[in-house]
Copies of this chain bind each other. A is one copy, B any other.
């Protein structure tokens, strides 16, 4: 879906900022923080607008929120980016030397058995270690 369609489908006004933000998300190969999105937006956009937009898109379930270390990051849900999307529950790897983030999409994350009465909504699984360049 193109940005305009995503916005329309979610009852949001189609604005230049929102389209730019969605295009930035489409190009990303890893989840991005609000700050990183601000930096990637060529046409300046106030940070308050960026954060407001991310929150709205998250609440509309267009974006997924991923916590990496203790940074909040966002990625398009796969429904909105077929073949290249970011599913809930996949594994992330963060390099403790260079800080680079990797999506380990090939690794299936299994569900763990929870105590009686507990219901899983989402897995946040992160492995920290050394990447192949920093090892």
- The number of chain A residues touching the other chain, given as a range, is 20 to 34
A118 to B127, alpha carbons, bound, how many Å?
10
A131 to B119, alpha carbons, bound, how many Å?
7
A128 to B69, alpha carbons, bound, how many Å?
15
Is the Cβ of A131 less than 8 Å from the Cβ of B117? yes
A102 to B117, alpha carbons, bound, how many Å?
13
A13, CB-defined interface residue at 8 Å:
no
Is the Cβ of A114 less than 8 Å from the Cβ of B135? no
- Residue of B whose beta carbon sits closest to that of A113: B107
CB-CB under 8 A for A104 and B93, given A70-B70, A71-B70, A130-B121: no
Residues of B close to A123: CB separation below 8 A: 125-128
Is the Cβ of A129 less than 8 Å from the Cβ of B119? yes
- Residue of B whose beta carbon sits closest to that of A107: B112
- Given A104-B115, A118-B132, A121-B130; 8 other pairs, CB 8 A cutoff: A93-B114, A104-B114, A107-B112, A107-B113, A118-B129, A121-B129, A123-B127, A124-B126
The residues of A with any CB-CB pair to B shorter than 8 Å are: 67, 69-72, 91, 93, 96, 102, 104, 107, 109, 112-132, 135
